Amino acid sequence: MATVEELSKLVINGKKGKVKTMCQEMLKEGVEPLDIINKGLIGGMVEVGVRFKANKMFIPEVLMSAEAMSAGTEIVKPAINSDDLPSIGTVLIGTVKGDLHDIGKNLVAMMLESVGFTVLNAGIDIAPEAFVSRIKEEKPQVLAMSALLTTTMLHMKDTIELLKEEGLRNDVKVIIGGAPVSQDFADEIGADGFSPDAASAADLCKKLLGIA
């Protein structure tokens, strides 16, 4: 009989096909769907986050693990009452206007989902007005903005200024990240936090929402 520990190892090793097969087997064997997700799939991604922070795993490997976890989750989700899978919070994430980079942003989104956040992925090249519009409509607790170019970083500031103008700044925590971004820059533009990598971003969101 397959165990959640074995499933976690497959997630860590990015074995997408084997993860799907094992999830199907475990459901047939009567393993609790929530245990498969929480202890097996998410358990594996938590370990991936630890290894990524320690530079023992790198972005391509983490992406493979995240894809394996997502594939397993899709198999198991239909067996779960949606009320049984509580979200710990909602994060709107996107790459700022003029910037077309999305690998880092997508990695952060996957990490956030793996620890229980609902993620609204706005995509790339998102103008301040578009961020603010979605915040009004969908009311996320956190806005996560990414920039990979020094020329697009200032759109993070523009977005925060627009949130203030619209009276929304106190309704949402704002975190930023990306290669040229720093804690100093976050402080300068009035963001609530800065994260140097995907695993830290998940921890930061939990901390800002008082979940850590």
Q: Are 145 and 91 in contact (CB under 8 A)?
A: no
Tens of pLDDT, residue by residue, the chain (212 residues): 889 999 999 999 999 999 999 999 999 999 999 899 989 998 999 899 889 989 999 989 998 998 999 899 999 988 887 667 778 999 999 999 999 998 889 889 988 988 889 999 999 999 999 999 999 999 999 999 999 999 999 999 999 999 999 999 999 999 999 999 999 999 999 999 999 988 899 999 999 999 86
Tokens, residue 23: 């999830």
Same structural domain, 97 and 18:
no
Same structural domain, 67 and 48:
yes
Q: Are 12 and 44 in contact (CB under 8 A)?
A: yes
193-194 and 173-177: which strand pairing? parallel
CATH code for the domain of 108: 3.40.50.280
Distance CA 144, CA 192 (A): 10
Is residue 70 one of the residues assigned to a domain?
A: yes
Backbone angles phi, psi at 28, to 5 degrees: -65, -35
* Predicted TM-score (pTM) above 0.85: no
114 Cβ neighbours under 8 A, 6+ residues apart: 41, 42, 45, 46, 48, 49, 66, 69, 202
Domain extent, residue 63, equals 4-80
**How many separate domains does the chain show?**
2
